[in-house]
Amino acid sequence: MGFLDGFGKSDEEKAAERRAEQEAAEAQAALAAGGIPPKAQRRLSELHASGNDAFFTSTLSVPELLLVREDGFRPITQVMGSSIYHVGWQFQQTWGSWGADASFQELSVVSQAWNEARRLALSRLEQEARLAGAHAVVGVRIDSSRWEWASDAIEFIVTGTAVRIEGAGPPGRPALTALSGQDYWTLREAGYEALGAVGATSVWLIVPGRSSRRAIQGGWLSGYRNQEIPEFVQGVYGARNQARALFGWQAQQLGAHGVVGMEISQDARLHEIERENGPDDIYMIVTLHALGTAIANGPERRPAVMPVLSLG
């Protein structure tokens, strides 16, 4: 605080400013440790202490709400996790490939940034659910984006609805699921248990070979005919396999028997570098995101039996 910052202000105003500064510092410290701001912690703890009579908001539709309630779950509140992450510099081994053979390279620094941002966002979502006393979070959705004003920054925002099992004991680690309320209900009715959300991102750089570049740029005797660009296809497969290996490892760590509800999004962008004394250099960057729910075989559940009396 500067020499004149408090001039003309009442003691109450100065005290309010000090409290605001302290709260901001505490929030930054909590976020730096991978947590959530203290204000959010207090709000969710108070919500948990208020019990089943508390007012709730959710992302559930009416049919989802009815099915979840039929299964003994009560919605508590919407929960969220977020992370804005700076992407470090990526060394690209492409100088020997321009104008020569094709090359493939995972941009591991970029992949790691996406995966760490997702991990932090999901971790904060889980912390909010745990403080709210939830046994699970249904309908988990992830929105990812890059910011125009900061090309080296990425963002993950994760949202869902925290639910608790009525009459059950204190929850342990809440299960995060990317399933809708209907799918979560159907899964449990079939005797499966949702263990948690798993996700992965893989970013690949693909430099096409001479023949493919001639086709893309309209080279002599090649630009006029239809043909596949095999390097780009191979790069997409490489990104998918890398993401599959990562979320498969996460599922195994949870003790899962499989992953359901996989959602895959892909962004492929073609880039050109102009050359004064030769043809332009071309390369493609493929970013593949995958998200699903790890499940395991749970206790067998018998369908409810409804007695029917004949009126004949």
pLDDT, one tens digit per residue, over 35-94 is 888 888 888 888 777 766 667 777 777 877 887 787 778 888 889 998 888 887 665 554
Kindly state whether residue 13 falls inside one of the protein's structural domains.
Answer: no
Is residue 109 domain-resident? yes
Is residue 239 included in any domain, yes or no? yes
Mean pLDDT of 146-170: 76
Q: pLDDT tens digit string along 104-134?
A: 788 888 899 889 999 999 999 999 999 888 8
- Whether 179 maps to a domain, the answer reads yes
Which residues 6+ apart lie within 8 Å of 168 measured at CB?
A: 135
pLDDT at position 95, please?
A: 45
Domain contains 275: yes
pTM score > 0.85 for this model?
A: no
308, part of any domain: no
Tokens of 241: 């396999």
The CATH number of residue 65's host domain is 3.30.110.70
Whether residue 157 is contained in a domain is answered as yes
Domains in the chain, number: 1
Question: Mind listing the pLDDT tens digit for each residue in 165-209?
Answer: 877 776 778 888 888 888 888 888 888 988 989 999 999 988 887
Which residue range(s) make up the domain with 265?
A: 50-297
Cβ(120)–Cβ(81) below 8 Å = yes
Four-CA torsion 220, 221, 227, 231, nearest 10 degrees: -50
User: Region 277-300: what's the mean pLDDT?
Assistant: 80
* pLDDT given for residue 96 in this prediction: 43
Asked whether residue 159 is domain-assigned, the answer is yes
